[in-house]
Amino acid sequence: MANKPLRIVFWNEAYLPCVGGVEIFTERLGRGLIQRGHEVFVVADRIPEESPESECVNGITVCRVPFRAALESVNDPVERSNALQRLAQITKVVTEFKERILPDIVHVNFYGPSAYFHLSTARSLPTKTVVTFHNLLTANAGHDGLVQALLKKATAVAAVSPAGARNIELAMGYPRQRISIIAPGVPSDMFAPAQGGRPGLPTVIFIGRLVDDKGADIAVRAMQFLKGKATLKIVGDGPERPKLENLARQLSLEDSVSFAGQVGPDQRRQILADAFVMVVPSRWEEPFGTVAAEGALSSLPVIATRRGGLPETVKDRETGIIIPPEDPPALVAALRSLLDDPTLAETMGRAGRSRALREFSLEETVNRYETLYFKACTDTH
């Protein structure tokens, strides 16, 4: 007998118009599930505050509730007297939403405290819970009790990479064999193979939020040793942008480093298609490396740091080069090796695209989550 369509609720800290890896993952997976006949809903914090309580975004019904404000009021001496009333009110809103939707699956995309409200209403309205950990868990992060409660409640647990699965096992003692590894897939039709043979200097591309953890400054510093051999295009925005622009001026790199800011999907596709190599010089433990997967889908060799799941997204010396973090000379050496050998760069890029289509495509992600949901629905425990 064929599996029936499911009613799936994604439980997020935030959702569009907030833009981040988890928000993009949810929107892409949600649209893919809708195309297969499932109903998809999102429960998220009301960010920004002026967001409507309920709206439909690209076919997905979004319910926004001020989770974080309610939880923070418990520790606010001024708001404490009203805190319990606010918590009770939000619990009532969540309960009524669940009773109206009657979901088959609540899929918690965990990286913050709003999951508390799913757990607090789960007893009165039981449903199957799937949890995906998008960030690596750290000791004493303040969520240990909530994470343990989620793991106890979960019918299925997923991580975005083998590094993420190992982290859950080490941090929480959860059995590795019970964790599904499902990459946050990238729509392959959004990215075209790199063009190659473009006139002018080869372009090194960096894409990401301009915060210290992403290491864009390391890419800028590397360019002072590659003047006349390549240019660097930085795509994205964030609080570090003025510092980065000032660093480029200090190093006299105004002609070698450009800032594209935030760009739309079509422009992003073209920028990647025109590039020669992608750099991901991250300082932090990237759980997966979605940008690296986008570079691979664009047939670009990817130079990434040995942090978190990046060495699993980029196969060293096969689809790119893995370097130590905080090491501009290593980045320079890796870039030179590819700039001096365009054939090697092209070979790595082709291998990266082939692997990304096979392992990191959105279709494969939708397949794996759909299978996980159906299995969870038949679980009798």
How many angstroms separate the Cα of 357 from the Cα of each of 254, 361, 367? Answer: 36, 5, 14
Enter the tokens of residue 1.
Answer: 């007998």
- Hey, how many other C-beta atoms are within 10 angstroms of the C-beta on 198? 13
Q: What angle do CA 357, 360, 365 make, to 5 degrees?
A: 115
Are the C-beta atoms of 70 and 86 separated by less than 8 Å? yes
Enter the tokens of residue 84.
Answer: 């319990």
In 3-state terms, what secondary structure has residue 197? coil
Encode the chain (381 residues) as per-residue pLDDT tens digits: 458 999 999 999 999 888 778 888 999 999 999 999 999 999 999 888 888 888 988 889 999 998 888 887 776 666 666 777 888 888 888 999 999 999 999 999 987 788 988 998 887 777 899 999 998 887 655 577 889 999 999 999 999 999 999 999 999 999 999 999 999 988 888 887 766 656 689 999 999 989 999 999 999 999 999 988 999 999 999 999 999 999 999 999 999 999 999 998 889 999 999 999 999 999 988 889 889 999 999 999 999 999 989 999 999 999 999 999 999 999 999 999 999 999 999 999 999 999 999 999 999 999 999 999 999 999 866
What residue type is 352 in one-letter code? G
pTM of the model: 0.85
Q: Sort 237 into a burial class: Cβ within 10 Å, 0-12 / 13-18 / 19+.
A: middle
Domains of the chain, with CATH numbers?
Answer: 7-185+361-378 (3.40.50.2000), 188-359 (3.40.50.2000)
What are the residues whose beta carbons fall under 8 Å from the beta carbon of 370, sequence distance 6 or more? Answer: 33, 36, 38
How far apart, in whole angstroms, are the C-alpha atoms of residue 319 and residue 296? 8
β-pair type (302-305, 320-323): parallel
The torsion defined by the Cα of 369, 374, 380 and 381, in degrees rounded to 10, comes to 10
- Hey, how many other C-beta atoms are within 10 angstroms of the C-beta on 317? 10
